Amino acid sequence: MEELRTGYDLVVESVAHGSKILDLGCGDGELLLRLQEEKKVKGFGVEISEEGVSLCMEKGLYCYQADIDEGLSDYKNDSFDVVILSQTIQNTKGPDYVIKEVLRIGRQAIVTFPNFGYYRNRFYLLVRGKMPVSKHLPYQWYESPNIHLMTIHDMRNMADHVGFEIIQEKNFSVRNDSSSIVKTFMPNFFAQYGFFIIKRK
C-alpha cells in the first residue's frame, strides 16, 4: 500500500482542525489515523476490502465496507466538512458520478490521483509504446485497479463539465524520503500526482 500513501502530508496540512471527514477508499486507515491524531478530526472511512476495514478497526477507526460507486446517495447534503478521495477516483467506475456525490455530501473535497500527463509517463508511452509502469504506477494494464486514468488538465476540464470550483491545487511529486514536494511550474508536465481541493459551484 506504500504507493497509496503518497500525498498524505499534503492532505493533513489541508484539513482544518476538528473537521468532520469522510475518507473514501481509506485503505488501511493510515491517513484517517494521522488526521485524527494531528488534526483531531471526527473521521469515518469507507473501504471496499474486508481486510482494509479490519486494519482500520485495529487502529480504532470507524470504517465500513462498501463500494463507493454504489453507495453515497444515502448521505444528506453537507454531511461532512471534507470528503477525501486520496488515490481513489481513478479506481471508480463512474468518476463523474462519484465527484458529483462527493460535492453534494461534503462542503469540500480533496482529490488526489496519479497524473498521467507527468513527463516520464508521456515519454514512456512515446518511446516504448507501452502503458507506463513505474514506481507510482506500478501495475500492468491488465491487473491495474486504475480504470480511469487522467491528467491534471483533464481534472481542470472536468470542473466545467461537472460544475465544481477549484479552491486550490497542490499538484506534487514524491521525494526519495516519500515526502511530497508541490509542483507549481507546469504541473501537468512535472507533477507525478494531481492534488485538488474543490467545492460545488
Partner 1 sequence: MAEEIYGKPGSAGIVQTRYYTFAAPPGELELQCGEKIGPVTLAYETWGTPDRAGKNAILICHALSGSAHAAGYHSPEDKNPGWWDWYIGPGKAFDTDKYFIICSNILGGCTGSTGPASVNPATGRPFGMSFPLITIADMVKAQHALVKHLGIEKLLAVAGGSMGGMQALQWTISYPDEVESCIAIATSASLSAQGIAFNEVGRQAIFNDPNWNAGDYYDSAIPVAGLSLARMIGHITYLSEKHMHEKFGRNFQKSGMQPVSGSSEFMVESYLRHQGIKFVERFDANAYIYITKAIDFFDLNGDYGGSLVNAFENVLANYLVASFTSDWLYPSDNAKEIVRALRVNGKNVNYTDIDTDNGHDSFLLPNDLLEKNISNFLRNEYRQSTQ
- Closer residue to partner 1, CB minimum distance, 36 or 134: 36
Contact status: 35 vs partner 1 (CB under 8 A): no
The answer to whether the CB of 65 falls within 8 A of the CB of 50 is yes
- Closer residue to partner 1, CB minimum distance, 28 or 154: 28
Three-state DSSP class for residue 118: coil
The distance of closest approach from Cβ of residue 15 to partner 1 in the complex, given in angstroms and rounded to an integer, is: 18
Any residues with CB less than 8 A from the CB of 186 and at least 6 apart, and which?
none
What CA–CA distance (Å, rounded) separates 43 from 35?
8
- Closer residue to partner 1, CB minimum distance, 54 or 134: 54
Contact status: 77 vs partner 1 (CB under 8 A): no
The C-alpha cell at 187 is 504541473
What CA–CA distance (Å, rounded) separates 14 from 22?
14
- Closer residue to partner 1, CB minimum distance, 61 or 158: 61
Burial 70-108 (b: 16+ CB within 10 A, else e): eebeebeeebbbbbbbbbbbbbbeebeebbbbbbbbbbb
- Closer residue to partner 1, CB minimum distance, 10 or 84: 84
CA separation, residue 7 to residues 85, 107, 114 (Å): 11, 21, 11
Contact status: 53 vs partner 1 (CB under 8 A): yes
* β-pair partners for 148: none
Binding mask 123-162 for partner 1 (x = CB under 8 A): ----------------------------------------
Among 13, 37, 38, 58, binds partner 1 (CB under 8 A): 58
Contact status: 50 vs partner 1 (CB under 8 A): yes
Contact status: 57 vs partner 1 (CB under 8 A): yes
Binding site for partner 1 (CB under 8 A): 44, 50, 53-54, 56-58, 60, 62-66, 71, 74-76, 79
